[in-house]
Amino acid sequence: MHHFSYTGSNLHCESVDLAAVAQLYGTPTYVYSAATMADNYNRIINGLGDLDVHVCYAVKANSSIAVLRHFANLGAGFDLVSGGELRRVLAAGAGLTHSVFAGVGKSEAEIRLALESGIRAFHVESEPELIRINHVAGKLGVKAAISFRINPDVDALTHAKTNTGKADNKFGIPIAQAAAAYAAAAEYPNIAIRGVQMHIGSQLTSIAPFVEATEKLAALAEELKARHDIEYISVGGGIGIVYQDALESGASKWWDDQPEATRPITPESYGAALAPILKPLGLKVLVEPGRFMVGNAGVLLAQVEYLKRGQGKNFLILDAGMNDLMRPAMYDSYHQVVPLRRNTSRPAITADIVGPICETGDCFAKDRDIQQLGEGEHVAFMSAGAYGYTMASRYNSRCMPAEVLVHGATFDLINARETFDNMIAGENIPAFLK
């Protein structure tokens, strides 16, 4: 569910007409719904019933400082994968006592920063990393809390580039080596064992991989609780969101009309499947959702530059490019594209929806049916709240887009559009070239 819908002919986010946002702040601009994020957070908590659950929002999905503050206010901790993300959480005014630090390549500086900032635990991905954490903690005169990330060798049945729980992926300790890794960790003087963790992939659309992986991890967690008195089990994130017919998915009737076998995963179905496995452990349960929390809570607004009629092909050329929304070029991902002002009297056209970047890969959709649109009109890319701005770049020397947060009938600019002067501020022409 989300809070984007047409009111009359105009597309709204909550009670805000998105055409007003485009007019005030220009395009490309990301727009996020605070109400949708809050709903998603509460559904994750409630979906796992009476378990002792804590949400650690995966910052990599959307790291806007305002978004982080919103989740902190709701009670979330954070799942971090870099020192930059850690600094963003601090800049948002949130502490790290309920946050965890993951990632396969933690530097010494990042480990030191996390320890000095009071991180709850490191999710350790290799034994060499454990050695480094112990070394840094020793120099600081503290004990570092850790959990190993376990690779359960389970196929998440998702895109190859977002599948992280197979034996041939770079992530985590093989489950067969887990007991030995924990036994070794117990011998380090500056390490304190706190839990066990996994994350098998992103955008999962089937419950079965979650169940298979959780059953494997739960069996290990029971053993670790007896041997090392662990406090928590983290089952990661990965719940998929709706991309196809994303606008329609905001209505409850849409859900009722879906065949049961093809209905998307929900926090309720996720919780119903996993809670019976987790409850007997008597451990705190951490979940680390990212995409689910923000994906359907955001759209990207873009303006039509041209409708180009080619030989047997129409091209709807927008001012947003692959640098603004990378997912279609990187993953061949689908995003529903809808007009900000719907006009049912206009004919539909079939067109490739493309951007201005000098790359053939700068294509958001091929042979997509859409209302005929002309120069200066606007569209919205649905389900763009996750891995949109965070993966954006300055390719072709294009400035980074703006970001706006909606709350009810109000909206605020939370990240101003980058200027050219901002872009080149750190560059310099050396004296020998002058």
Q: Is 15 exposed, middle or buried (0-12, 13-18, 19+ CB in 10 A)?
A: middle
Q: Which of 256, 141, 159 is CA-nearest to residue 204? A: 159
Which one of the listed residues 13, 56, 358, 363 is annotated catalytic? 358
What is the rounded end-to-end Cα distance, in angstroms, of the chain?
58
Q: Which of 103, 75, 110, 72 is CA-nearest to residue 90? A: 72
Any known ligand binding at 290? yes
159's torsion region: left (phi>0), alpha (psi -120 to 50) or beta? beta
Any known ligand binding at 356? no
Any known ligand binding at 128? no
Give exposure, 309-331, as e/b (b: 16+ Cβ within 10 Å).
eeeeebebbbbbbbbbbbbbbee
Any known ligand binding at 331? yes
Active site residue 56: no
Bond into 28 cis (ω within 30)? yes
| Contact indicator for 89, 59 with CB cutoff of 8 Å | yes
Any known ligand binding at 248? no
Any known ligand binding at 388? no
Cα distances (Å, whole numbers) of residue 399 to 23, 85, 349, 389: 18, 21, 31, 12
Any known ligand binding at 289? yes
Query: Side chain identity at 246, as an amino acid letter?
Result: A
Binding site for substrate, by residue number, is 291, 327, 331, 359, 387
Binding site for pyridoxal 5'-phosphate, by residue number, is 238, 288-291, 387
Catalytic positions:
358
Binding site, by residue number, is 238, 288-291, 327, 331, 359, 387
